A and B are shown apart, each in its own frame.
Chain A
Amino acid sequence: MGKRIGLEVSLAVAEAVKLAKVDVVSAYPITPQTHIVEELSIYVANGDLDAEFIPVESEHSAMSAALGASAAGARVYTATASQGLALMHEILFIVSGMRMPVVMTVANRALSAPISIWNDHGDIMAERDIGWLQIFSENGQEALDLTLCAFKIAEDKRVLLPMIVNLDGFTLSHVIEPVIIPDHAEVDAFLPPYKPVLKLDTDKPVTLGPVGVPEMYTEARKQIEQAVLAAKPVVKEVLDGFGKAFDRRYKLVEQNGKVGAKTLFVTMGSLGETCMTAVDELLAEGADVGQTRIRLWRPFPEEEFVAACAGAQRLVVIDRVLAPGAVCAPVASELKSLFYGRTGAPEIVSVIAGLGGRDVTVRDFKEMYRQAVSGKLSGNSLMWGVESHAS
C-alpha cells in the first residue's frame, strides 16, 4: 500500500508521471506553467527519473517535441495551461491525427483578455474537437490516479490516442491535499511498459503524417472519430481495473444526492465537490435534488449520462466558460443535443459560473436551486453573479 501524505496537487501529478516511468518530458518551463514539470525537471536532474527533459522555447514547440518523441516510440508527457494550451492548438490535431498516445495535464485556466491566471474552463473548451480523449478530475487524488490511468488508456492498442487529464488551475493545481502515493511495484503491475505499434525506425521505414488528398482525408478523419468513440469501453475497463488494484473507484459519470430527483445539478471538475456539499444541505432541508458529475468528456459517455439523469425534470448545467454568441455554453449545448428528441427529456438550464477564478460557493448553488424550482432560472447561458445595473 502507498502512503497518505499532504502534497501540492501539482507535485502529486509529478509523482504519478515519475511512477509511470515516462521516457520524455517536453515542456515550456515558465508561465503559464504549473509546478508539475518543474518538479519533473528536478527528478530528471537528480537521476530519480530516467527520462529526457526537453525545455523548449514555447508550448508550440513543447507539443511538437512531444509528437516527435512519441513517433520515435517513447512514452511522452507534458503539461500546460491557458495561453500555453492555446499556443499548442495546431499541433494538438496532428498528435491525435497521427494516433500518438501523448499524455498531457491541463491545469484549466482562463484565457486573456483581460489577463487572468485563475481557474475556468475557457482553455480546454476551445480544444473540444481536437480528437484527444479528455477527462476531468475533481480533487488531487483523482488527478494523480487519472494520470496513471491516462497512460494505460492512451497506449492501449485498441485506442492509441492522446489523452488530456484536466484539473482546475489553482483550485487544485496549487493546493495541498491529502493524497495516497502508490508504490512503484503497484504501479508497475498496473501499467505495463509502452510497446508502440508503429514508430519511426530506420530498420523498418514508414511515413507518419503524410499528405491526405481529398480521396482519403474523409476516411482518415473517420478513423480518428471511430478510435475516439471506441475508446469508451477501454476507459471504463482501465478505471475498473484501477479500482480493483488500488481500491479507488471511478466511473465515467458519477451521481450523488437523491436518486431520481426532479432537479439535478450537472458539474465537471472541482466545482463538483462544492456542489456536493450544497446538495447534501439542500437534501437535509427537504429538497428534491441530486447531482450528475461528468468525468469523461471526450468521448462523451452518452448512455451513462442519460441513465444517470433518469427521472429528472430539470438539469442545471454549470459551465465555467463563456461562448459569446453561441446558443448556449459548451456543456449545456452538448446535453441539449444529447437529449433532443428523447421522450421525457429534462429541461436544460445553462448557467455560466466561476469565470476567471470567481468563487462559486455552496450558497450560490443553493440559490441556483431555489431560483430553478421557482422558475426564475431558465433559458440559455445565464451568467451567474455578474454585476450589472440591470440586476
Chain B
Amino acid sequence: MSKQAIMAWEDLALGAAILSPGNAKELRTGDWRSLQPKLDEEKCIKCSLCAMYCPEFCISQDAEGFYRPDLYFCKGCGICANECPKEAITMVKEGD
C-alpha cells in the first residue's frame, strides 16, 4: 500500500482545526508552478501594478526598485504578465 497521508488520524486537532495562526506562509505554493514570470528591466517602469494584482501577495520591491516575485509562493498564474501595462513580464516554462 502506498503511503500518502501526512499524519496519523490520532494526531489531527479536533475537527482537523489549524491551531497555529498564519501557518499558510509555510505552504510552498511555488510547487504548483509550471510557468515563471520573467521581467524585462528595460521595459519595466516600476509602477507596482504587478504586485497589486498578484493573488498570492508575493511580489515586492528589490533594492533597485524592481518588483520581483518570491518563487517560494509564486504559483505561476500569469496575472502579473497579463496586467503589466508595458508588457515587461513574460511567462516562461519552468527550467527554460
Q: Which residues of A contact B (CB under 8 A)?
A: 97-100, 160, 197-198, 205-210, 212-216, 218-220, 222-223, 226
State whether the Cβ of B63 lies closer than 8 Å to any Cβ in chain A. no
State whether the Cβ of B19 lies closer than 8 Å to any Cβ in chain A. yes
Interchain CB contact under 8 A, B14 and A197: yes
State whether the Cβ of B7 lies closer than 8 Å to any Cβ in chain A. yes
Contact of A206 among B4, B6, B18 (CB under 8 A): B18
State whether the Cβ of B1 lies closer than 8 Å to any Cβ in chain A. no
**Complex CA distance for A363 and B76, rounded to whole angstroms:** 73
By a CB distance below 8 angstroms, the chain A residues around B9 are 218-220, 222-223, 226
**Complex CA distance for A313 and B21, rounded to whole angstroms:** 58
By a CB distance below 8 angstroms, the chain B residues around A97 are 15-16
Interchain CB contact under 8 A, A223 and B17: no
Q: Which residues of B contact A (CB under 8 A)?
A: 4-9, 12-19, 21
Interchain CB contact under 8 A, B15 and A209: yes
Q: Could you tell me the distance in whole angstroms from the C-beta of B4 to the nearest C-beta in chain A?
A: 6
Interchain CB contact under 8 A, A208 and B15: yes
B6, B12, B15, B21 interface centre (most CB from chain A within 10 Å): B15
Interchain CB contact under 8 A, B17 and A206: yes
Interchain CB contact under 8 A, A198 and B6: no
By a CB distance below 8 angstroms, the chain A residues around B5 are 215-216, 218-219
Q: Determine the main DSSP class of B at the interface with A.
A: loop
Given known A-B contacts A219-B9, A226-B9, A207 and B21 have beta carbons under 8 A apart:
yes
Interchain CB contact under 8 A, B18 and A207: yes
- Nearest residue, chain B, Cβ from A218: B5
By a CB distance below 8 angstroms, the chain B residues around A99 are 14-15
Interchain CB contact under 8 A, A216 and B6: yes
**Complex CA distance for A202 and B12, rounded to whole angstroms:** 22
**Complex CA distance for A219 and B19, rounded to whole angstroms:** 17
By a CB distance below 8 angstroms, the chain A residues around B14 are 99, 160, 197-198
- Contacts A/B (CB < 8 Å), 15 sampled: A97-B16, A98-B17, A160-B14, A198-B15, A198-B17, A206-B17, A206-B19, A207-B21, A209-B15, A209-B17, A210-B18, A219-B7, A219-B8, A220-B9, A220-B16
By a CB distance below 8 angstroms, the chain A residues around B19 are 206
Interchain CB contact under 8 A, A216 and B12: yes
Interchain CB contact under 8 A, B17 and A210: yes
**Complex CA distance for A214 and B17, rounded to whole angstroms:** 16
Contact of B17 among A208, A213, A215 (CB under 8 A): A208
Interchain CB contact under 8 A, A220 and B17: no
Q: Could you tell me the distance in whole angstroms from the C-beta of A247 to the nearest C-beta in chain B?
A: 35
Interchain CB contact under 8 A, A215 and B4: yes
Contact of A216 among B15, B16, B17, B21 (CB under 8 A): B16
Q: Could you tell me the distance in whole angstroms from the C-beta of B76 to the nearest C-beta in chain A?
A: 20
Q: Which 7 pairs across A and B sit closest by C-beta, in order of nearness?
A: A207-B18, A219-B9, A99-B15, A222-B9, A220-B16, A205-B21, A98-B15
By a CB distance below 8 angstroms, the chain A residues around B15 are 97-100, 198, 208-209, 220, 223
**Complex CA distance for A214 and B19, rounded to whole angstroms:** 20
By a CB distance below 8 angstroms, the chain B residues around A214 are 4
Q: Could you tell me the distance in whole angstroms from the C-beta of B9 to the nearest C-beta in chain A?
A: 4
**Complex CA distance for A98 and B5, rounded to whole angstroms:** 20
By a CB distance below 8 angstroms, the chain B residues around A212 are 16
Contact of B7 among A205, A208, A216 (CB under 8 A): A216
A212, A215, A216, A226 interface centre (most CB from chain B within 10 Å): A216
